[in-house]
Structure 1
Amino acid sequence: MTKTTNQPKTGVLIVNLGTPDSPNTPDVRKYLREFLMDARVIDIPFMARFALVNFIIAPFRAPKSAKIYQKVWEERGSPLKFYSQDLEVLLQAALGDEYIVSMGMRYQSPSIEQALSKLKDKGLEQIIVVPLFPQYASATSGSVHEKVMQLIGQWQIIPDLKLVSSFFENPLFVEAFAELGRRYKAEYNYEHYLFTYHGLPERQIHKGDMSGGKCLTNGCCDTLHAKNKLCYRAQCFATSRFLAEKLGIAPENYTVSFQSRLGKDPWIQPYTEDVIHQLRDKNIKSVLAFSPSFVADCLETTIEVGEEYREVFEHRGGEHWRLVESLNVQPLWVETLKSIVFQYENKPVAAQPTI
């Protein structure tokens, strides 16, 4: 008797930002050029962007960035890349044979085009695209969506396409980060908690403003509502509230901030480095820092938050600074992605924690 197998019906494309192929200057320069030439990342006219990236940023920033990438590089390579590769394998095992899971990077390799080739011509009824960014931003999830639609638009047969915009409200995602935070809280009595997110130029927030000009005014992100629900900054503040509530942190004992500025234009505030100085002015000596806009450890978490901000804090007399690692391949993170896939298929999802 012939054993039959289920024909996969759903493709799941998970996409992370990307990383250089090596920590050497030429590969870092190549990565920076592809990344920063994206019109959704540096949203200025093409010729100005071309000149800025190719004649200023890439030539002068690449050697400095290469030295930093060398610090984060491990035997398996870039943590962001190998954690994403491991996640692909784990999510495939969690979902089973009815699915095909494929991982790509928005910039460099494996590219989105390479990842989609694994799903093409497989007779799939639908593809669910999950950018691995908890909060929506045009420069991250929006860029992934645009690239996927551009590539799939060239296919002869186009399956149903479902684009995940954000998942910061997913209870399992919140619980996954909270689970990590509890371990550190159990080890030390921290005076303050910092939720630091990747920053964006203010102009990008204003471009998506649906509030009638009230965006980025005092208190505009204190609650999530119909007019700001798609705003990156508002989603970051909401993520922080969810996590603080899960961890039992009072509002006065945590701060939300934004890091990784580039250029002289104003970026969304408060800036993380300014917040660190303010905490020391208040004689705060111990801080537990979270980076809930990143799901895999990378240069911005391990080096920027884990080392550079710790040095700033300690230079001002701080005594204890600790970074909560990213979700990486945490089992609950895998379950989070599984629940997102089921949600977009309208399948029943196992009971989840509340937020």
Structure 2
Amino acid sequence: MKKGVLLVNLGTPDNPQTPAVRKYLNEFLMDERVIDINAFSRFMLIKGIIVPFRGPKSAKSYQEIWTEEGSPLMIYTVKTTELLKQRLGDEYHVEMAMRYQSPSIESALAKLRAAQVTSIQVIPLFPQYASASTGSVHQKVMEIVSKWQTIPSMSFVNSFYDDDLIIEAYAQNGAKHKPEEYDHILFSFHGLPQRQMIKADETGKHCLKVANCCDTITGANRFCYSAQCHATARLIAERLNIPKEKYTLTFQSRLGRDPWMQPYTSEVIDQLAKKGIKKLLVFCPAFVADCLETIFEVSVEYNEEFKHAGGEHVQLVESLNDSPLWIDALERMVRGA
């Protein structure tokens, strides 16, 4: 009998055309953990404003990064799954899924069920825990499995923001670009609304109420996405001997008018360029696979913004993708070493 492993990434449209992108955005943004407002307001916002207008624009962006093999995020997630299968051998049955679109979590779990695995370990492929990503994966898996007559032993990976192998993998990718030759370093993480950070503070007394509330992991913020992002950036910087004054942690991809986690990447890029910074190296350690937010948002959009403000070049540090150290880290998670 085999043990089951389910790797889950966020998702990608089936193709880069507007109808497929709108379908993806609808499923993604209608998730109550992603847009955490009342159901009626969420429906009106997503169906009436965001998807109709954002769909065509996002489709053009996806077309910029799409390859003959498909979406980069899908390509690297498939490679990661295949490499992990090879590492784990016959003792394990490994499946991959996307939280939104294909292959679905339901279809992947059905394959594990059909294989009669003795246990299922769920690994959401997000280094830092957030309700809108890891939490959503956990909830979806539990909703599906709860309907099974017999449920195997289940386990869930919550986060791996400080895993030493993963920190080393990000550091090795950064070292290839010689950080010492850049004027400044950015650690740009995917943004989330501030209200979601506040909700994660079960004490109600820490988030945005304590000075430098994200600088150290404590009991109050142990599940805080922002605090985990700060820890990841600090560990990578320490591994590469990047002094504190030479790097800034920022958040990208904000949506809507509500305040999101700050500082915003786009604003910091503009400020740095106006201060005379010419060469900028950007890590995106919230992503394990290069995708729209890294390849296009950073390498194209932010690069253009930086140059317009007086800078010369924004260099993206590639994600973990199919790095051997990344596969080492996943293998260790599965085996519990």
TM-score, length-scaled by structure 2: 0.97
Q: Cα 1:25–1:89, aligned 2, differ >3 Å: closer, same or farther?
A: same
2:217 matched to 1:224? yes
Give 1:61's match in structure 2, choosing from 35, 54, 62: 54
- Once the two structures are superposed, residues 155-196 of structure 1 have per-residue CA deviations (whole angstroms, 9 ceiling, x without a partner) of 11101110111001111110111110111117x711211000
Of 18, 21, 29, which residue of structure 2 is paired with 1:25? 18
Aligned to 2:193: 201
Provide the secondary structure at the position in 1 that maps to 2:10: strand
> Which residues of structure 1 form unaligned runs of 5+?
1-6, 344-348, 350-355
Give the counterpart letter for 2:41 in structure 1: A
**1:177 and 2:170 correspond:** yes
Q: Identical aligned pairs, as a percentage?
A: 57
Q: How many residues align?
A: 336
Rounded to whole Å, the distance in 2 between the matches of 1:43 and 1:33 is 14
Instruction: Name the counterpart of 1:132.
Output: 125
| Aligned-pair CA distance for 1:285 | 1.4
Q: Which residue of 40, 43, 51 corresponds with 2:44?
A: 51
Distance 2:306 2:82 in 1: 38
Instruction: Measure, in 1, the Cα distance between the counterparts of 2:18 and 2:116.
Output: 42
> C-alpha distance in 2, partners of 1:110/1:334?
21
SS in 1 for 2:325: helix
Correspondent of 2:229 among 236, 256, 261: 236
Residue 15 of structure 1 aligns to a residue whose secondary structure is: strand
Preserved CA contact (<8 Å) 2:169 2:325: yes
TM-score of the pair, normalised by structure 1: 0.92
The code of the aligned residue for 1:43 comes to D
Alignment correspondent of 1:192? 184
What's the counterpart of residue 213 of structure 1? Answer: 205
Give 1:213's aligned amino acid.
K
Question: What amino acid is aligned across from residue 214 of structure 1 in structure 2?
Answer: H
How many Å apart are 1:306 and its aligned residue? 1.1
How far apart in 2 are the matches of 1:308 and 1:121? Answer: 45
Greater shift in the superposed pair: 152-161 or 211-220 = 211-220
Q: Which amino acid aligns with 1:167?
A: F
| Alpha carbons 2:206, 2:221 under 8 Å: kept | no
Amino acid at match of 2:54: R
Secondary structure class of the residue paired with 1:184: coil
Task: State whether structure 2 residue 98 is matched by structure 1 residue 105.
Answer: yes
One-letter amino acid matched to 2:278: K
Deviates more, 1:305-314 or 1:232-241: 305-314
Q: 2:292 matched to 1:299?
A: yes
| One-letter identity of the residue aligned with 2:107 | Q
Identify the residue that residue 4 of structure 1 maps to in structure 2.
Answer: none
- State the match for 1:278 in structure 2: 271
The residue number in structure 1 matching 2:328 is 335
Contact 2:188 2:252 in 1 (8 A): yes
- SS class of match (1:118): helix
Q: Specify the SS of the correspondent of 1:96.
A: helix
Cα distance in 2, alignment partners of residues 274 and 162 from structure 1: 40
Structure 1 position 211, deviation (Å): 4.4
CA distance in 2, matches of 1:246, 1:211: 32
Q: Distance in 2 between matches of 1:113 and 1:210?
A: 31
